[in-house]
Structure 1
Amino acid sequence: MKTHQHWLPVAVLAGLLASGCGGGGHNAPPFIIGGTAPPPVGTPPPATAAPLACDDTLKANFKPDANTSVVAVRSFKKGDPLLLSGSATSTTAMAANDVCMVKLNVGPGNAGPDGAPSTSPGIGIEIWLPSKTAWNSRVHALGGGGWQGGPAGSATAIASTAAADVAGKEGAVSSTTDTGHASLAGGSFAMNPDGTINQTLWTDFASRGIHEQAVKTKALATAYYGTAPKYSYWDGGSTGGRQGLNLAQNNPTDFDGIIANYPAINWSRFITGELYPQIVFQRDLGGVAPTKAQQDLVSNAAIAACDVVGGQHLGYVLDPASCAYDPTTDPTVLCPSDGGTNGTSACVTNAQATAINKVWYGMTGDGSVPAPATDNGWSEASSAVLLGSGIHRWYGQARGTSLYGAFFSVFGLNGLTSPNGAFPIASDQVALELQNPTIADPTFVNATGNGQSLWKQLSYAQLSNAYDRGVALQPQFGNINTDNPDLSAFKNRGGKMMTWHGLADELIMPQGSVNYYHSVVGKMGGLSNVQSFYRLYLVPGAGHGDPNGTSNPGAEIPFFTPTQFYDALTAWVEKGTPPDALTLQALSSTATKTRPICVYPKKIAYTSGNVDSATSYTCS
């Protein structure tokens, strides 16, 4: 997520390796449908007591409840380096305008031995407030990535310069949270020192942390400015997208508008499925993954087979649901020893081509894969029935996607098919499902034994069992899957929500978002009712927050301008203007290329004319 909702920042990318991804707080009552209705969206806020100052007096004067304490307060002037300790360098971010930073801790946390990843003093929240003359009366809170964690509650380090930018440039109050754990040791925080599941921190991570972030951000804004925010927005992708849906499901009065992009819903299901490609390589290819060059060769062949529009190659696949490319029957990618015509070092064997077909299809309980012409892995997406009860457990990456995640590999992160090993969140999650830390890689730390990469020994049946365990353990995991389709309370309070998901997402399969949307439609009385408050967009070629998720680095893919999606949401909430098809544009092209994205379930349809112009397409 760059510019808040569209790109994944480097800090979040690092968090995917080092740190990841309902309900009210421990001392807060759950939301009850009925009773006193919340005020309509945009109701003029009530007056409050005298505003607070951005200095140490705030520590004594801001006491929203017994569990909350102020950790640090710091005023930054325009141009100041955004640092709490140390010296500025050439890469240090600067304050865009005068802002006030406040850090909170919300207990009770989780007691335990010093240094244990599962030991926490509480939920850390970092809040950024624009100057009192610059505030636009909005809260614009940001979600996180991966396991999240980090220094939101630290008095010596800043967690989010993105939130500082929202306050300084946009004029909205912004915030972020560590979701209850500052540890950056991956999923280690979620396991107690005795190897059992840490239910307290799972709940803080899954739901309580973001609810406390919402409540305390609005409370501090009210106390600081002397008047309550008029509008409150949530803005997140990946884990932040899951968080947005969790807020709509479990705390529907927290936000007036929610952006929930490429959301990490169905957490245990899709993340267990993220380990499947590596299990395929272990079981079928002797533990040797195809090289990046081999993976790119096959993925680019899929693009070439499925990207033709108006007689021209786009360089990316417009509709992967209709692409059934099969490398096992393509001599141009197969090695001569396997009946092919490709004599380069990037050629693939039939076994490797079959393995890639398995990755595209997605996790099965026995390692089987149907012929792509019969089922390309998308047939169950547009159904209200959740995948996973049969042999097909979860979806795979779309054909044409960079399987190993070229965008992420630049930052030293393993994608799903990386020759360097497993995506770390996936191996951590499976270790937690099986309650065996040795399954994970050595970065997983626990007193009963650190990770030993024993995931490499798992059979297809054992990974399938871990999948089932993840579903069965949802109560202990804080209901992290966030897959409840009942959004009626959020709709009834006047909330609006928007989601976009890239069709070349390297990490979270877009079919999961499609499937969830269908389940909401099935639960809530049909498409028209749902689209009155919740709209989904599928973006061809886009990756996990990055404009180009494909294996073709030269693809020029129309994408969002920096605040385009957020502006559409605020117009819907504040002006009653429902978003329709949005026009995207290629950001790196010498000649501007535009393309519409449609409100799902409409699809982009080429009519005639220039294939690089949005006017040549309709939504139908």
Structure 2
Amino acid sequence: MNLFKGQTKGRLTAALLVCSLCCILSKAYGKDDGWSTKNTLLSCDDRMKTAFKPDVNTSVIAVKSFKKGDYLVLGGNATGTTPTAESDLCMVKLIVGPGNAGPATAPSTSSGIGIEVWLPVGRNWNGRVHALGGGGWQGGAAGSATEIASTTAAAIAGGEGAVSSTTDTGHSIPDSGAFAMNPDGTVNEILWTDFASRAIHEQAVKTKALATAYYGTAPKYSYWDGGSTGGRQGLNLAQNHPTDFDGIIAMYPAINWTRFITSELYPQIVYQRDLAGVPLSKAQSDLVSNAAIAACDVVGGQHLGYIIDPSTCAYDPLRDSKVLCSLDGGANTTSACVKKIQAEAVNKIWYGMTADGSVPDPATDNGWSDAFSDAIVGSGNHRWFGLSRGTTFYSPTLVGLASPDMEFPISSDMVALELRNSAVAGVGFVNAAGNGRSIWKLLSYEELSNAYDRGVAEQADFGEVNTDSPDLSIFKNRGGKILTWHGLADELIMPQGTVNYYNRVAAKMGGIANVQSFYRLYLVPGLGHGTSNGTSNPAAVIPNFKSDQFYSLLINWVENNVVPDQVVLQAGTASVTRSMPICVYPKKITYRGGAPTVSTSYSCS
């Protein structure tokens, strides 16, 4: 399905509507002198509900003015921890239909796409749109008239001075994929399309239309900023709606959605099939993961505490007597020791999903080789990638893929949707045809592989959510820019998939140099899925981005043609400071000599 086809006429119509609306409002409210003015063309009150009507599907459901220092609440009471407005703001909530009809209590019933927009007062607007992506299944309160969805968007509008927005992607359920299944157990294709692509395009169009109507002049630059689902959304916009944004940040993107989401259940299937349903304990997974770090983190004769390049690490716990139990021929007598069958399970988790549950010798293939291919991965026995060595199996802030506590729920939801069987999902999945009953625990390797194949084959049903087209030529030719970074210790989305996609784009679009002219990728050692430490070593001091550092690189590239290159990241505690460069892929961080804790000891080559 080509989501870009037929959009030109729609954009022209939207532009004409905005221009017409601005002309009407200029006559109604008086002449505007640009975004430097204190006043705006639309009043930040209920009059906007009738004044702003860009199309028949769009309705304003809530408007509220916030003064500097006001608590950011709509309904309910503020507490001492409630954020406050950094400057005077106008919040507008929109619903874009038609939504999906159905019983009032069904998760799949929707009145439409909710969009929450935050606008600085006229003189504070910097002329930009800085729209935000979401995470997971997204959902939430963007379409609620009584609850604020994003204090982050409010902070951007209040502190940065850009118009910001977010969307619920057409449903209000943030923690379950139940919205994507109709009450009769069939796939909800309408809301899949909204979730996959339509909602973010409507967010872009309506945010810019509202800004134009509010200030009397169109935004000069528009930026998308998202990670995980938000990263996938950014690349979806570049692929299918290439004129929506001038610059896109797509961090640790959830592209290849059905492929990697299905494979996220694989570690738990390994536990069920190979270990009789008994997962590795946290102490056991920490033992083998930290052993992998110790085997692969030495630079300049020192242990860094995290691995700079996991693609070169082939650590094998089956060959490490220090982690193997003494009863299995090893030397470890602690309760955290691992049996050989458990060490083999760890190798499977690191290699990634296979159709039959097999795993090659890590010395032959450590799970990274397919990442550097310019062909899409998954048609052979190796269905998808595994966790990088040294990445934590669980997480204090995220449900890890190999956690002993539970499966990653998005993965069991997705497999239930692929198999059209709600019982496969976890207990949080609600559907009239039957609620989730964690039947995923009974799946064989072959049955999980079949679910994987169905997810790929039925992309039309799933709104083309995989977002894996390598053709970004229209976005490139109109001058758009993309920046991506991906942590090499990502606990949820394997960085190998992002590397593979980038190589596919290069193969499609004339090589790495041509792609780097508009799209640049950085691989960041030690960072997790938006977390400052994705490794199993909690003591690791890992250089990270400063606030807005990555966004500033994008602005400077788009607006000043300053091409981003090597970037220095820093970290520090009371007793330890570190810095390290990150490189534009395919260059790698290369140690040149000196203290391995400072960036000047490295280069990109």
TM range (shorter): over 0.9
Counterpart position of 2:32: none
Q: Does 1:560 align with 2:537?
A: no
The match for 2:388 is 398
Residue-pair matches, total: 584
Query: Is residue 29 from structure 1 mapped to residue 14 from structure 2 by the alignment?
Result: no
Mapping for residues 532-547 of structure 1, pairs under 5 Å:
532-547=517-532
Contact 2:62 2:92 survives alignment (8 Å) = yes
Aligned to 1:187: 177
Q: How many Å separate the matches in 2 of 1:561 and 1:213? A: 27
Alignment of 1:113-128 (within 5 A): 113-128=103-118
Q: Distance in 1 between matches of 2:276 and 2:24?
A: 67
CA distance, structure 1, for counterparts of residue 2 and residue 67 of structure 2 = 37
Measured in 1, the distance between the counterparts of 2:400 and 2:358 equals 22
Structure 2 unmatched ranges of 5 or more:
16-21, 27-40
For the residue of structure 2 that corresponds to 1:518, the secondary structure is: helix
* Contact kept in structure 2, 1:256 and 1:496, CA below 8 Å: yes
Corresponding residue for residue 276 of structure 2: 286
1:523 to 508, 512, 521: 508
**Hey, what does 2:19 align to over in structure 1?**
none
Contact 1:594 1:613 in 2 (8 A): yes
TM value normalised by structure 2: 0.94
CA deviation after TM superposition for structure 1 residue 454, in Å: 0.1
Deviation by residue 1:449-483 (Cα, 9 ceiling, x = unmatched)? 00010000000000000000000110010000000
Task: Quote the residue 1:9 is aligned against.
Answer: none
Question: Given that residues 123 and 180 in structure 1 are in contact (C-alpha distance below 8 angstroms), is that contact kept between their aligned partners in structure 2?
Answer: yes
SS at match of 1:593: strand
Structure-1-length-normalised TM-score:
0.92
Who is 1:11 aligned against?
none
1:441 to 409, 416, 426: 426
* Deviation digits for residues 392-421 of structure 1 (CA, Å, limit 9, x no counterpart): 10000000001122442xxxxx31111122
Give the aligned partner of residue 425 of structure 1: 410
Structure 1's unaligned 5+ residue stretches are 1-21, 40-45, 409-413
Residue in 1 that maps onto 2:372: 382
Q: What do the CA deviations read for 1:241-274 (whole angstroms, capped 9, x no partner)?
A: 0000000000000000000000000000000000
More deviation, 578-587/268-277: 578-587
Residue pairs, 1:29-68, within 5 angstroms:
29-31=6-8, 49-50=25-26, 51-68=41-58
Aligned counterparts, 1:329-344, within 5 A: 329-344=319-334
SS at match of 2:93: strand
Q: Which residue of 1 aligns with 2:340?
A: 350
Displacement of 1:47: 8.6
Is 1:467 paired with 2:449?
no
Matched residue, 1:171: 161
What is the Cα deviation at residue 95 of structure 1? 1.0
What displacement does 1:590 show?
3.0
Larger CA deviation: 196-205 vs 581-590:
581-590
Equivalent of residue 89 in structure 2, options 99, 110, 134 = 99
Q: Secondary structure at the match of 1:586?
A: strand
- The CA distance in 2 between the partners of 1:184 and 1:550, in whole Å, is 27
- SS of the residue corresponding to residue 236 of structure 2 reads helix
Matches within 5 A, 1:126-165: 126-165=116-155
Which residue does 1:498 correspond to in 2? 483
The code of the aligned residue for 2:257 comes to: W
- Once the two structures are TM-superposed, the CA of residue 591 in structure 1 deviates from its matched residue by 3.6
Contact 2:527 2:533 in 1 (8 A): yes
Match of 1:197 among 182, 187, 195: 187
Per mean C-alpha deviation after superposition, the further-off stretch among 89-98 and 588-597 is 588-597
- C-alpha displacement of 1:49: 4.3
Deviations 1:521-580 (A, max 9, x none): 000011111100000000000000112100000000000000100000000000001100
Name the amino acid aligned to 1:385: A
The CA distance in 2 between the partners of 1:49 and 1:610, in whole Å, is 63
Moved more, 359-368 or 416-425: 416-425
For residues 232 and 171 of structure 2, what CA distance do their matches in structure 1 show?
18
- Matched to 2:217, the amino acid is T
1:24 Cα deviation from its structure 2 partner: 5.9
In the TM superposition, residue 31 of structure 1 has moved relative to its aligned partner by: 4.5
1:258 aligns with 2:243: no
Structure 2 residue corresponding to 1:109, chosen from 87, 99, 103: 99
- The equivalent residue for 1:7 is none
Of the candidates 295, 301, 320, which is equivalent to residue 285 of structure 2?
A: 295
Q: 1:213 to 1:344 in 2, by over 3 A?
A: same
Equivalent in the alignment of 2:600: 615
Matched, 1:488 2:465: no
- Stretch moving more, 524-533 or 203-212: 524-533
Question: Post-superposition shift, 1:97?
Answer: 1.2
The residue matched to 1:224 in structure 2 has which SS?
A: helix
Structure with larger RCO (C-alpha < 8 A, sep 6+)? 1
Amino acid at match of 1:218: K
Partner Cα separation in structure 2 for residue 576 and residue 587 of structure 1: 32
For residue 300 of structure 2, the aligned residue among 293, 298, 310 is 310
- Following superposition of structure 1 onto structure 2, how do residues 214-229 of structure 1 map, counting pairs within 5 Å? 214-229=204-219
